[in-house]
Structure 1
Amino acid sequence: MISKEMTISDILRRYPQTLPVFERYGLDCYDCQIAEFEQLEHGATVHKVNLDALLAELNRCIS
């Protein structure tokens, strides 16, 4: 299960199938060097993305 505390790069490394979800939400974090250290919650806040909706879709994607 993906949580808001996970780093973006960790999510993408463990679950590469989530990349289209990040792209749909305008999070091109896979290209960002900060992704290695940035937690999902922070990335969503910075990009003004609804964290609950993003988490729900990411977890649907991996189930």
Structure 2
Amino acid sequence: MIEIKKDTIIGDILDVAPQTAPIFFSIGMHCLGCPSSRGETVEEACAVHGVDVDKLLELVNQEANKAAE
């Protein structure tokens, strides 16, 4: 089971759960391949994009762990 937290780096998430990319795209994080965005934490990215970090974490964790169910 993958546990994604506020301080998890987006690039690390995409490496282990690439299926989560559409969630990031849907909230305006369109530069997932850029070195700066891949190095951001979930919390930093949410602050920049005005997104509730707890809601995003819930969605991303659900998607990342679908295969494990």
Tell whether the structures are fold-level matches, with TM greater than 0.5: yes
**Alignment size in residue pairs:** 63
Aligned structure 1 segments of 4 or more residues deviating by more than 2 angstroms: none
Normalised TM-score (structure 1): 0.88
Structure 2, unaligned runs of 5 or more? none
Question: Which structure's CA Rg is the greater one?
Answer: 2
| CA-to-aligned-CA distance 1:4-37 (integer Å, 9 cap, x gap) | 1111111111110101111111112413221232
Structure 1, unaligned runs of 5 or more? none
Normalised TM-score (structure 2): 0.81
Paired residue for 1:41? 43
Identity in percent? 37
Match of 1:28 among 27, 30, 51: 30
Higher helix share: 1
Determine the C-alpha separation between the residues in 2 that align with 1:22 and 1:46.
13
* RMSD between superposed Cα atoms in Å: 1.2
